[in-house]
Structure 1
Amino acid sequence: MATYKKRGYKPKKEKIVQEVEETFDETQSTTAEVFNNLDDAANKSEQWIENNSKPLFYGLVAVAVVILGYLAYNKLIAVPTEKTASNELAHPRVLFDEATTSAGVKADSLYTLALEGGVNGKYGFIDIASNFSGTKAGNIANYYAGISYLKMKDYKNAIKYLSDFSSDDALLGPTALGAIGDAFADIDQPEDALDYYQKAANLKKNNFTTPLFLFKAGQVAMNLKKYSKAETLFAQIKKDFADSDQGRDIEKYINSAKYAQ
């Protein structure tokens, strides 16, 4: 039998090759375009860097100066100053500790010495708080000064120095706020006292300062005839701090507030 080819017939292999070549040409074209775009972007970046080389250089120099300046300040000034302040704090703290175990005129005299210094040229808490205000020792000096004034019944100065003190410590921070509350209570500013007692209770919740200042806040609220608030404060002690010193007889205070309304 004779075989023949139809007019226009192309072998399948040639058709596949042609399709591959066409696809390859299209892919190759797209890839080339991408690389061309990348080249253009790189050229523009190089041109921008070249045009802005001086500002970039000065910017890097400025950053380096800031970093080196910080390191130099920290090593040559901050650390030695902190050490000096800490050493200065040791002397008035000894006087403060002695004053807390004394009474009457002797205690006041010791607190005064701790505050004002002067013994053998040593600084007191006031000088340390002023001259080393940016240090940890200067900050803690504010606390000791505030408590010293509170013990001496100089309430305005107690509030001043305690307000300048700040701490993240779980006990010291609330104690300072609570001491401000005590000072306001002693100068007959119960609204302010209530505010600071609540701040002290909520600052760092723990089993010691929180129930103590909740209880003080509750008592002030009772004196202000804010009986509902007092009941809420006392009830919080019962709920969360029943085993604390304030929680043992808290039920009677809750009832007093409840029936006073």
Structure 2
Amino acid sequence: MKTVVSEAYQSKKATLLNFITNFKSQGHKIYGGDRNTLKTFDLEGEKVTVKAFKTPNVVNRIVYNYFRKNKAQRSFEHAHILLSLNIGTPFPVAYMQNSNALSFLDSYYICKHINYDLTYRELVEQPDFPQHEAILRAFTAFTFKLHESGVFFKDHSPGNTLITINNGDYKFYLVDLNRMTFGKLSFQDRMENMKRLTPKKEMVAIMANEYAKLSGELEGRIFKTLWELTSDFQMKFYRKRRLKKRFLFWQNRE
């Protein structure tokens, strides 16, 4: 097993490896889906989150073994880049990957656990959430900082920003970090990066207003572009979901 541990956790490497060895039988599961599993473990009095990535298909096993960094490695490296830019993300503790002479098998990413109060999703689903507009504007400022820092977060979606609240002070932490690029972002790039966040026109309007204040761009241009991209994304998203349900319905009948 290839193991890379952040400097601050080198003395705990053996314990971290033990978490992976006993991942199936130990730890507290906080998420278990078709793609990935998340568990928390106690690391000598400190809680950490371990993300086990689903074993990839045959082609990607070869790709990850010889040609491309796996998801755990990218998550670990991207987290370090974000922190160097003073952008919030849970501190990266380590990553591990299993492989043999022929192919990649599986990988794990370990980071410090964040006790968060909400994600962006709650702002979408609960319009009466306390301090809703203030949090939304602060989140927009956080997104603007991402863009100004040259970060294009490809999975900038409702569940991938953890939010903590402390007496009106809002802090934001990105998770699910494996899909990112870095470089100067155009206006269109910035709007594309925000199109998955909410289907609600009133939220897009507030975000456009705040982004205009920070960027100096015309509010009308931001709103028009972002709303068009958002509407197009939502239409394609629900069309894909309908087709998937229809396909599964006929598949189940067989």
Q: Per the shorter chain, which TM-score range?
A: under 0.3
| Bigger fraction of residues in strand | 2
| Bigger fraction of residues in helix | 1
Using the size of structure 1 for normalisation, the TM-score is: 0.27
From the CA coordinates, give the structure whose radius of gyration is larger.
1
Using the size of structure 2 for normalisation, the TM-score is: 0.27
